[in-house]
Amino acid sequence: MTLYKDLHQRSISQREAFWGEEAKRIDWHKPFGKVLDYSRPPFAKWFVGGETNLCHNAVDRHLKDRGTQKALVWISTEVDRVESYTYQELFKEVNRTAAMLRSLGVGRGDRVIIYMPNVPEAVFAILACARLGAIHSVVFGGFAAASLAARIDDAKPVLMVTADGGSRMGKVIPYKPLVDESIRLAKHPPSKVLIFNRGLDPDMPSVPGRDIDWKDFSSKEENIPCTWLESSEPSYILYTSGTTGMPKGVQRDVGGHAVAMATSMPYIYCGGAGETIFTTSDIGWAVGHSYIIYAPLIAGMTTILYEGLPVRPDAGVWWKIVQDYQVNVMFSAPTAIRVLKKHDPALLKKYDLSSLKHLFLAGEPLDEPTHAWIAQGLGKPVIDHYWQTETGWPVLSAVHGIEKTPIKYGSPSFPAYGYDLKLLRESDASEAGADEKAVVAIVPPLPPGCMSTIWGDDERFVKTYFGDFKDQLVYSTFDWGIRDQDGYYFILGRTDDVINVAGHRLGTREIEEAVNMHSAIAECAVVGVVDALKGQMPLAFAVAKDATLVATREGQKALEKEIMDTVDRQLGAIGRPKAVHFVTLLPKTRSGKTLRRSIAALAEGRDPGDLTTIEDPGALQQIKDCLGIL
């Protein structure tokens, strides 16, 4: 393990020399003066004074050597279409889009909300923002109007870019009514909405004077120069869930992000210029930002953007794509593999996968049987790796571009270069020993590419992420982990109220707030429970204002359905609880805190833990009754 260890050691002990060298992987319009400014901990500024542009590095830079190479291939099994764009063509489309955005008043530092399905125009819009020095904030298309409105109000965008709709299982999901509703709800709505009309929704409503049709505008060909940004200026905001109901705007910089992306491709993903990567995520998530768009394009690869499910037209569709497009690197999520596991394993062998070097999986715990099933089925190394929206790139991973360390099933291997990782005891922040469960923490400064702050709220950034351990300024990942005798890490779930539903990160508080929007509900508690397919599912315990409403089974069923519809409307169907149980009171401590950990433990058949602080033990009995526990 010496090569990996040397790299990791150097990245920590000679931090500036290490990253100063790695920064040569990208183009700088103006060289940086200092690699790191850490004069105001925990805020880290990387490549100080350097000027660059993400779109230049992802597109323009490749025109000379790979203008005719495919940059982006869009495959939609939803609308049965394939579109390819060479770097030259991508350059043209991005410029055209940037021209549109500019004429709609978008400039440096302005925010643009992008609410789109996985279509090429979403990539054009993202890169066009980067070109203009505008800050994009992509919102996952599965979020409902109220969630979108909350993000609008936080980002205060000048423009929203959207499409008439998405598609799932061949069924159209109209976006526009939802967008209109979010703008109605928002206090700081954008004055213009640019709509890419795919022709999916013939009844799409339109607001004259505000709504603009992409196609009316986009015929103009124009070259828009890149706006050179100082390395630490914001490039994008991506909202993610945490302990409170209000999502946090993870803010990313420009220079550090570009360098982190450029470095991770050869070191971790073993991908190089001219090769093809297929990342099955959605552009609305961190994985989509980093590994559908930025890292592959900065590295000069061909990236595949996929719209569809892993099982349609059949469960071999992804492997057919690997064969047909000679995919070298693939990146997906454990949930998808668990879905494929229900189908004929012969499909894993049906196509020629000789081009494929690795399959990477991240986003949620990868259980050992699933890891073994897919690795053996494909006959390829399957690399579990761990990271977060906040970090933007892997925290724990095998670094096979440097050394082919053996893989242990169920483990995301070791700390990636740049991360000074510690496992700290929750009680006193002391370092845990081998095989001891503790909190995964990172000693700052965080490496390049990690979040620079929470958008508009430096104080919340410090308090949330660096306030977990008294007297010690360390970044908490809010994940439990252990390290075995051989130094391999295992992630054991979150320390906070974040749950992971089919790879989608959600806060149980967000779901609670959505449930509470139903006028018949007095209060509720939502917890995550293990689900064989989705990893976790939310489960709700609600107190009705009028107990007679839920006195009968029929009454309960009717209200449960209404609550589920409310969650769909407020948050999106991804947050819909598996079930809603009705109780007359929730188990709370004497100081009024709901005992969520105990409820979750009971729901998963575990010991509810220390209950000495409980206000009314009868409340816990009600939970047990709902769950059928004696």
Q: Hey, is 284 helix, strand or coil?
A: coil
DSSP assignment of 496-540 equals SSEEEETTEEEEHHHHHHHHHTSTTEEEEEEEEEEETTTEEEEEE
Residue 491 CB, shortest distance to ligand PRX, in Å, is 4
Enumerate binding residues for ligand PRX (CB under 6 A): 240, 286-287, 362-366, 384-389, 412, 477, 479, 491, 494, 500, 505
- Give the nearer residue to ligand PRX in terms of CB position, either 197 or 464: 464
Residue 33 CB, shortest distance to ligand PRX, in Å, is 32
The single-letter DSSP state of residue 292 is: I
CA dist 50 and 40 (Å) reads 19
The percent helix, strand, coil of the chain (3-state, each to 5) is: 35, 25, 40
Residue 453 CB, shortest distance to ligand PRX, in Å, is 16
- Give the nearer residue to ligand PRX in terms of CB position, either 119 or 362: 362
**Tokens linked to 121:** 């125009």
- Give the nearer residue to ligand PRX in terms of CB position, either 164 or 364: 364
Residue 286 CB, shortest distance to ligand PRX, in Å, is 5
Residue 241 CB, shortest distance to ligand PRX, in Å, is 8
Query: Which runs of consecutive H residues, i.e. helices, occur in 48-119?
Result: 54-58, 63-66, 87-103
User: Which positions ≥6 away from 424 have C-beta within 8 Å?
Assistant: 430, 431, 432, 438, 439, 441, 469, 474
In whole angstroms, what separates CA 341 from the centre of its chain? 23
- Give the nearer residue to ligand PRX in terms of CB position, either 192 or 248: 248
Residue 168 CB, shortest distance to ligand PRX, in Å, is 20
Residue 210 CB, shortest distance to ligand PRX, in Å, is 32
- Give the nearer residue to ligand PRX in terms of CB position, either 59 or 150: 150
Under a CB-based contact definition with an 8 Å cutoff, are residues 279 and 358 in contact? Answer: no
Residue 582 CB, shortest distance to ligand PRX, in Å, is 30
- Give the nearer residue to ligand PRX in terms of CB position, either 56 or 385: 385
CA dist 300 and 286 (Å) reads 20
Q: Is the dihedral of CA 597, 534, 154, 179 positive or negative?
A: negative
Residue 592 CB, shortest distance to ligand PRX, in Å, is 28
- Give the nearer residue to ligand PRX in terms of CB position, either 193 or 501: 501
CA dist 119 and 72 (Å) reads 11
Residue 183 CB, shortest distance to ligand PRX, in Å, is 26
Q: How far is CA 35 from CA 18, 28, 295, in A?
A: 10, 13, 21
CA dist 330 and 539 (Å) reads 33
- Give the nearer residue to ligand PRX in terms of CB position, either 226 or 330: 330
Core vs surface per residue 335-350: b (16+ CB within 10 A) or e: bbbbbbbeeeeebbee
Rg from Cα positions in the chain: 24
Tally of CB atoms within 10 A around 420 = 19
CA dist 429 and 408 (Å) reads 28
- Give the nearer residue to ligand PRX in terms of CB position, either 365 or 538: 365
Q: Phi first, then psi: give them for residue 375, nearest 5 degrees.
A: -65, -45
- Give the nearer residue to ligand PRX in terms of CB position, either 285 or 325: 285
Residue 410 CB, shortest distance to ligand PRX, in Å, is 9
- Give the nearer residue to ligand PRX in terms of CB position, either 304 or 442: 442
